[in-house]
Amino acid sequence: MAEYSAPLKDMRFVLDNIADLASLSKLEGYEHAESDVVDAVLEEAGKFAANVLSPLNKPGDLQGSHVTDGVVTTPDGWKDAYAGFVEGGWNGISAPEEYDGGGLPSAVSLATVEMWNSANLGFALCPLLTQGAIESIIAHGTKEQQDKYLKKLVSGEWTATMNLTESQAGSDVGALRTKAEPADDGSWRISGQKIFITYGDHEMSENIIHLVLARTPGAPAGTRGISLFIVPKYLVNDDGTLGERNDLKCVSLEEKIGIHASPTAVMSYGDNGNCVGYLLGAENKGMACMFTMMNSARLGVGVQGLAVAERAYQQAVDYARDRKQGQAPGMPKGEMTPIIHHADVRRMLMTMRANIEAMRCLIYLNGACLDRAHHGPDAETRETAMGMAELLTPLSKSWCTDLGVEMASIAVQVHGGMGFIEETGVGQYYRDARILPIYEGTNGIQALDLVGRKLGLRGGEPVKNMFADMQETVKGLAAAGDEMTAMSLQLNLAVSALKDATDWLYGNAPNDPHAAPAGATPYLRMFATTVGAHLLGRSALKARALLNDGAADAEFLKAKIITARFFMGQILPTATALLGPVTAGAETLFAIDEELLSA
């Protein structure tokens, strides 16, 4: 099982040419994001991922986390690795400098997050949740709460969790039963149980800050009556030191098909009637506060899909180079051929490569849009960027996590029978990836959010802007000529089909409550695949321009163009074909009586 090697060259290409790092570094607050600084950050992150996190990945999967008498123990080496993560300052590289963060753009931070997750997804889940809590407390916390919690969370000395799910509620958060009762001192007493709490307890950090959704007395039913509370594992004194243990505990750890090293806890609050919590934001506005964390987590989970696909791809390429079987046309007779020379294996590898490069473009662009939304020079620029970020987030989360599973499955296939044997390790990527389309809002929910809310943002402005950008790419490819002409035609067909699908949803959704939900998932796939093609088209145009200017790394740039051609010719047509499923309506979905579905 080969160790992970960060694809720094491609990461930097995407940061420069899709995220436009040069323009980000001109925004107020990002002036220090200079080229040499970013290079140094990425290089050192790559070393930590390869040398510290990657070697722990398979052993961590085999050993797993365990709980005994309410005490959770992570795999061997985990605690030391996390201490190194904190010492290196990796947890807060994009957090505001006023809280001792690095203040780098999110686009750069996402590149490091990709590395952590490629190297060791089970480990990387811990800082993912902490990052979301940081953003929630910055956005909704009082000055006192920010002063008390943020520096320790930014440094990573303390970690954080997100507590939404309850066994009877699932994705229906409004059905939660956890209670919060007011106390005389302005704090609250929390009681209830939560499930699926990632890193709900562990020994890697000195404190864990739980963000817990609960219902206050007399609160309205459903999501309108939910509030969010800060519930520390250890109470924090006014001087910042740790006080007594709070009344909360890990009841058990879930037995999962993957991410075994990550302790997914069942958490119980207030068994002794004295679990202290502090209201974050306004009462009954918990969902608005939590969505600050959720949106951060959703983009982070999209990165996980990209990351696990990259790790699986690297191992598949290495295996295909080494494994000899059969004889490919044109190879010397009497010699077994490395399977990388077989056309079908090459098709699988190119499918992985092209999708990974498209995902990376989408994720980093999404991050750059968030950077411009927060640091843009004027209100209109910030609003436009936020609209684009909100449009891209469900695409990043859903498409990239679906592809993470699919690309990991292809990696197993490249290994043949050995892929189904745990010894090779490639099966772990497939098992680990399978949770990604489920948590932080299932991909079906993301699709419903896309068609139900994101298409109508600001009167449809973000969608119109995206179509305008895609048409510019179509024109640019056409003007470039040669092999770019075919790419222009293929992208134009897909954009036209996507416009037709979008118009159909706009026209039918208001009149048929089933129309949009029935077509939502294929529409999201159609949209994201077309955006991915558009971004690869932009990459190809930039690569061509650099080649014409005599850039040094000609082979890398030529490969960018070839990868874009492959995506346009062999992957993009599947998006165009989704016009039918998007516009089919719901009639056949409900035509069979539910009793007959089991017949």
Q: Looking at the annotation, which residues are catalytic?
A: 440
How many residues are given for the chain?
599
Residue 199 and residue 124 in contact, taking contact as beta carbons nearer than 8 Å = no
In this structure, what token pair is assigned to residue 503? Answer: 């118009």
The CA distance from 178 to 240, in Å, is 28
CB burial readout 30-49, b (16+ within 10 A) else e: beebeeeebeebbeebbebb
The CA distance from 253 to 257, in Å, is 13
Long-range interactions of 481-485: CB distance < 8 A, separation 24+: 483/561, 483/565, 484/540, 484/541, 484/544
The CA distance from 148 to 159, in Å, is 14
DSSP string, 325-345: -S--TTSPTTSPPBGGGSHHH
The CA distance from 75 to 87, in Å, is 20
Q: What does the CA dihedral 49, 50, 52, 53 come to, rounded to 10 degrees?
A: 60
Residue among 112, 270, 124 at smallest CA distance from 188: 270
User: How do the residues of the chain divide into helix, strand and coil, expressed in percent and rounded to 5?
Assistant: 60, 10, 25
The CA distance from 407 to 571, in Å, is 13
Contacts of 242 (CB under 8 A, 6+ apart): 206, 207, 234, 235, 236
Residue among 393, 397, 414, 512 at smallest CA distance from 457: 393
In this structure, what token pair is assigned to residue 207? Answer: 């404190």
The CA distance from 180 to 175, in Å, is 15
The CA distance from 141 to 150, in Å, is 10
Burial grade of 575 (CB within 10 A; 0-12, 13-18, 19 or more)? buried
The CA distance from 412 to 399, in Å, is 20
DSSP string, 51-120: IIIHHHHHHHHHH--EEETTEEEPPTTHHHHHHHHHHTTGGGTTS-GGGT-----HHHHHHHHHHHHHH-
